[in-house]
Amino acid sequence: MTSSSPVAPRQRPRLLLAAGVAASVLLAACGGGDADEGGGGGGEPAAEERNENLTFATGGTGGVYYPYGGGIANVISAELPGVVVTVQETNASVDNMKLLESDQAQLALALGDVVSDAVNGENTFTEPIDVCSLGNLYNNFVHFFTTADTGIETIEDLKGKRVSPGAVGSASEVTADRIMQAAGLDPQTDIERSQLGVAETVAAIQDGTVDAGAWSGGLPTGAIVDLASTDELVLIPTGEYAEQLAEEYGDYYFEEEIPANTYEGQDEASPQVVSPNILVVRTDMDESLQEDITRVIFENKEQLITVHPAAEELDPATAGEVSFIETCPGAQTFFDSAG
């Protein structure tokens, strides 16, 4: 599939209002709207003149993008008159960039490696996509996870095992495959491969049909919290591969630890590959809207923390420091004023 192709029917995400994300996530308006109506360029209308219906491509319900994106949608819709944001459940980063390209979405969350590929027209993307960044929101931590009864302790131990590296079209899949390659495994032939989202992977581990899974997400990830509450969770270290990945692919990979006690029974910190999550929009979005969306997100940090702890990482002083994608001019205006 090229970057200009629509999302395949079997991957087509379901459009959901942000009000359906969680009890704490309630949109100020519930009507939604056509994705084609929002995000276009042309002029910089005053806030009271806006009539913007924006679709926000997020991720699966078991991860962080979907609930956090719902919280962001709530804040934008409540704080900006004439703007209504609808969240869309997707297979995450790769899908989200393609939805932006086709203007089926006007905002998207995506992981650094996929964003870099998209703006450079590499790997999954055959042509560059015209997008820019509203900021680095938080870091994603790789989770290669299993349970103690499998005996799996290292990436090399995955050889011959039943493994889900992530859903098709997700950044989790991209990163997991790169880590397995760095460890000397062929991710296509050395494992019995399943393509499941994080919630489905956890269910498959619990029913014994999958041995291990991979996920790249914020801390904590709800589906993995659920697994740790019912089984003896094992986080497989990946941090030793961060430098190799950074040298081969780009500086959006680095090493950081999942702190001890992030998950039930996790008594020690776990070194993992980490990559930043970027809020991405099309470059034809009005600069005033870029600035206002960025402003209300960072000014409502405390409210967003109640939706998901990943919002604790919101920092306007550093959010614009992203080397692999241009910061949107409207967002940069806000960062300059906040700095």
Tell me the per-residue pLDDT of 101-128, one tens digit each, with 9 for 90 and over: 999 999 999 999 999 999 999 988 999 9
**pLDDT tens digits along 256-276:** 999 999 999 999 999 999 999
The H or E element that residue 1 is part of is: none
Number of Cβ within a 10 Å radius of residue 157: 17
Residue recorded with tokens 């405390």: 302
CB 274 within 8 A of CB 259: no
pLDDT at residue 144, as a whole number: 98
Asked if residues 198 and 217 have their Cβ atoms less than 8 Å apart, the reply is: yes
Q: Please tell me the pTM assigned to this model.
A: 0.78
Q: What local confidence, expressed as pLDDT, does residue 8 receive?
A: 39
Residues of the chain with confidence (pLDDT) below 70 = 1-48
Please state, in angstroms and rounded to a whole number, the distance separating the CA atoms of residues 16 and 10.
17
Residue 255 forms beta bridges with which residues?
273
Structure token digits, residue 122: 């590499």
What pLDDT shows up at residue 329?
98
Rounded Cα distance, 86 and 55, in Å: 5
- 267 burial type by CB count under 10 A (0-12 exposed, 13-18 middle, 19+ buried): exposed
For residue 186, how far is the Cα from the chain centroid? 25
Q: Quick check: 325 and 281 in contact, CB under 8 A?
A: no
pLDDT at 46: 52
- Check residue 48 and give its pLDDT: 57
> What's the CA gap between 210 and 197, in Å, rounded?
12
CA distance 228 to 223: 9
Which 8-state DSSP code applies to residue 22?
B
Length reported for the chain: 339
Q: Find all residues with CB under 8 Å of 250, minimum gap 6, and list them.
A: 112, 113, 116, 324
Helices (H), the chain: 65-79, 93-101, 112-120, 171-182, 198-207, 222-230, 242-248, 287-299, 301-307, 329-338
Give the residue among 109, 103, 102 at the shortest CA–CA distance from 87.
109
What was the pLDDT predicted at 210? 98
Provide the angle, in degrees to the nearest 10, between the axes of the packed helices 198-207 and 222-230: 10
All domains of the chain in start order, with CATH:
9-138+278-338 (3.40.190.10), 140-276 (3.40.190.10)
What pLDDT is recorded for position 28?
37
**pLDDT at residue 169 in the model:** 74
Say how far residue 264 (Cα) sits from the centre of its chain. 23
